[in-house]
């Protein structure tokens, strides 16, 4: 049985390995241990038999705007709904805190399209989104795709860029 819970310090090495194994394949951007520790509260993990088999993070960026990021599932457990469940949990937490729009920057557009995210031009996202980009190995030549999803009660003007 898969259990979803907040990440703890004991999970950091497992998160680092899972995320960076995907990064080594060019499927996502790498995350440093420092970044994981600094943002540990953002992370949710999927655990089965005391093994981390997936992770994802909800990162608040601006007023009512949050990013879904660092989403990864053990390759042997893909296509079992674990990633989708983590996105649903992260969105529920965001909505509970007042988020009206979620976004993601990804190399996996098909997955996020299945989660009802809509591709958008990166330039339409607010400048606040790019504050961490200077630390990225792809900077300034970002080749990730941007996707957004709004909540049912979103109204244009809810998010002041």
Under the banding of pLDDT at 50, 70 and 90, the label for residue 127 is low
Distance CA 76, CA 131 (A): 34
Domain count, the chain: 1
64: region left, alpha or beta (phi > 0 left; psi from -120 to 50 alpha): left
Coil, strand, or helix at residue 120? strand
Distance CA 3, CA 85 (A): 11
Going by C-alpha positions, the residue among 142, 76, 146, 61 that lies closest to residue 105 is: 146
CATH number at residue 45: 3.40.630.30
Percentage above 70 pLDDT, the chain: 89
Which of left, alpha, beta for 81 (phi over 0: left; psi -120 to 50: alpha)? left
Tens-digit pLDDT profile for residues 22-51? 999 999 989 999 999 999 999 999 999 999
Query: Is 112 contained in some domain?
Result: yes
pLDDT of residue 130: 60
Residues spanned by the domain of 94: 3-150
In a domain, 89, yes or no: yes
- The pTM for the full model equals 0.91
Rounded CA gap, 111 and 130, in Å? 23
Per-residue pLDDT reduced to its tens digit, 131-157? 666 566 665 667 789 999 999 988 887
52 part of a folded domain: yes
Task: For residue 140, give every residue at least 6 positions away whose Cβ sits within 8 Å of its Cβ, in sequence order, or none.
Answer: 133
Residue 76 lies inside a defined structural domain of this protein: yes
pLDDT tens-digit series, residues 61-72: 999 999 999 999
């Amino acid at each position: 049985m898969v259990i979803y819970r907040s990440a703890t310090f004991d999970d950091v090495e497992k998160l680092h390995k899972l995320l960076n194994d995907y990064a080594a394949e060019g499927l996502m951007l790498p995350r440093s241990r420092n970044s994981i520790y600094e943002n540990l509260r953002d992370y949710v993990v999927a655990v089965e038999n005391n093994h981390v088999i997936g992770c994802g993070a909800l990162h608040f960026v601006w007023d009512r705007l949050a990013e879904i990021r660092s989403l990864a599932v053990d390759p042997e457990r893909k296509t079992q709904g674990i990633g989708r469940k983590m996105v649903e949990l992260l969105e529920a937490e965001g909505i509970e805190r007042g988020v009206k729009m979620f976004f993601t920057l990804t190399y996996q557009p098909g997955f996020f399209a299945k989660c009802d995210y809509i591709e958008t031009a990166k330039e339409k996202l607010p400048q606040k989104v790019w504050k961490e980009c200077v630390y990225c190995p792809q900077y300034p030549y970002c080749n990730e795709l941007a996707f957004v999803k709004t909540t049912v009660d979103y109204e244009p003007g809810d998010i002041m860029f």
